[in-house]
Amino acid sequence: MTIYFLGGGNMAEAIAGGLVKQGGYHVHIANRGAGKRERLARELGVQVSEKLPGLSADDVLVLAVKPQDMQAACAGLQTSGALVLSVAAGLSIDTLSRWLGGTRRIVRVMPNTPSKVGLGVSGLFAADGADEADKRLAQNIMAAVGETVWLENEAQMHAITGITGSGPAYVFYLMNALQAAAVQQGFDEKTARSLSLATFKGAAALAESSGEDFSTLQQNVTSKGGTTFAAVEAFNAHRLPEAIEAGVNACVARSQEMAQQFEAV
C-alpha cells in the first residue's frame, strides 16, 4: 500500500511528515512545482513525481489541492478503487464522486494547521462506499498528526470547519491582540510576543491538566471587584463572546456557500 498525495502544500506536507515520523507507511507526493518536489524529497525522504502514477485498490489517495483547483486536478484521474481522502474545504462527497468518475470510497477530512507540529484536530466523515476498514485506515493516517473525531453527518463538516478548522486563526488573532495591548502598555515587540505566547501556552496546559470547565478556570482567577474582573467586565461590555460566536457563524456560512457553488459546477 502506498499513500499518494495529490498536491504538496502545507497540509499535505504536515500529514506526510507525520506519517514518515510515525513510520510504517510508503508515502508518495505528486506536485507540479519542481522546486517543491525537490525540497519534499530532501526533507521528508518521500518519493515525489510531477504527476500521479497508476493507482491500485490497495492504495490511498489524499486530495490536497485547493478547492478551486480540485476539478481540474481530478480531470482524467483514475482512482482504480483506491481509498480517497479529501482535505479540501467545501467539497461534498457527491461533488468529489462526480469529479472522480463515480467512486464513493471517500472519506472527507477537515484538519487544521497545528497538524504541522502533531497537535492537530481532524474531523472525519465517510461516504457510503467506505467500509469500517477504510475508516480505521483514515483515522490511523490522521492520528499521525493529532486528534481525530468522527462526525455524525456530512453537514457537520461545515460546523467543524468553523470551530477547529479555522479555530487556530481565531487564537492567533487573540494572541496578536494581547501582544498589541502589551506594546500599548510599554513593552517592546519581542517581549510583548513572548508574554502573549507564554500566557496562551500556560493557560492551555493548565486547562488540559486540570480537566476543569473553562468557565471554572476563569472564575478561579476572577475575584469580584478585582483586576481580572475589571477586564472581563470590559470584554462583556464590548460583547466579545457574541463577536466570537458571530465569527464562527460567518465561517460556517461561508463553508456552506462554497459547497453550494462547487455543487453547481
What's the pLDDT band for 262 if we cut at 50, 70, 90? Answer: confident
Helix (H) / strand (E) element for 29: namely strand 26-30
Contacts of 246 (CB under 8 A, 6+ apart): none
C-alpha 31/C-alpha 109 separation (Å) is 20
Q: What is the CATH number of the domain that holds 186?
A: 1.10.3730.10
Comparing CA positions, the residue from 125, 166, 147 lying closest to residue 252 is 166
* pLDDT value of position 196: 98
Question: What average pLDDT does range 182-193 have in this prediction?
Answer: 98
What cell was used for 138?
483514515
Is 9 annotated among the ligand-binding residues? yes
Comparing CA positions, the residue from 150, 164, 146, 149 lying closest to residue 21 is 146
43 CB neighbour count, 10 Å cutoff: 11
SS3 call for 52: coil
Least confident interval from 87-96, 169-178, 184-193: 87-96
Is position 161 within any domain?
Answer: no
Chain segment 134-158, per-residue pLDDT in tens: 999 999 999 999 999 999 999 999 9
Tell which of 108, 123, 153 closes a domain.
153
* pLDDT value of position 30: 97
Domain count, the chain: 2
Tell which of 87, 118, 153 closes a domain.
153
**Do the beta carbons of residue 3 and residue 19 sit within 8 Å?**
yes
Is 7 annotated among the ligand-binding residues? yes
* pLDDT value of position 243: 97
What's the pLDDT band for 114 if we cut at 50, 70, 90? Answer: very high
Is 186 annotated among the ligand-binding residues? no
pLDDT at 17 over 80: yes
C-alpha 258/C-alpha 61 separation (Å) is 23
Is 249 annotated among the ligand-binding residues? no
Are residues 149 and 188 part of one domain? no
C-alpha 120/C-alpha 142 separation (Å) is 9
Is position 102 within any domain?
Answer: yes
Is position 224 within any domain?
Answer: yes
C-alpha 233/C-alpha 214 separation (Å) is 17
Chain segment 214-250, per-residue pLDDT in tens: 999 999 999 999 999 999 999 999 999 999 999 999 9
Is position 111 within any domain?
Answer: yes
Are residues 113 and 89 part of one domain? yes
* pLDDT value of position 264: 78
* pLDDT value of position 239: 98
106-110 vs 120-126, strand pairing mode: antiparallel
Question: What average pLDDT does range 168-179 have in this prediction?
Answer: 98
Tell which of 95, 130, 153 closes a domain.
153
Are residues 132 and 41 part of one domain? yes
C-alpha 254/C-alpha 246 separation (Å) is 12
Are residues 115 and 50 part of one domain? yes
C-alpha 130/C-alpha 107 separation (Å) is 7
102 CB neighbour count, 10 Å cutoff: 9
The CA-to-CA distance between both ends of the chain, in Å, stands at 33
pLDDT at 263 over 90: no
Is position 261 within any domain?
Answer: no
Q: What's the mean per-residue pLDDT of the chain?
A: 96
* pLDDT value of position 213: 97
Is 66 annotated among the ligand-binding residues? yes
Q: What is the CATH number of the domain that holds 55?
A: 3.40.50.720
pLDDT at 160 over 90: yes
Are residues 176 and 141 part of one domain? no
Q: How far is CA 254 from CA 150, 154, 182, in A?
A: 22, 16, 33
Are residues 140 and 178 part of one domain? no
Q: What are phi and psi of 122, to 5 degrees?
A: -125, 125
Is 112 annotated among the ligand-binding residues? no
* pLDDT value of position 193: 98
* pLDDT value of position 153: 96
What's the pLDDT band for 56 if we cut at 50, 70, 90? Answer: very high
What cell was used for 125?
466523515
Is 11 annotated among the ligand-binding residues? yes
Is 27 annotated among the ligand-binding residues? no
Question: What average pLDDT does range 20-44 have in this prediction?
Answer: 95
Owning domain of residue 33:
2-153
C-alpha 128/C-alpha 36 separation (Å) is 35
Is position 265 within any domain?
Answer: no
* pLDDT value of position 26: 96
pLDDT at 265 over 80: no
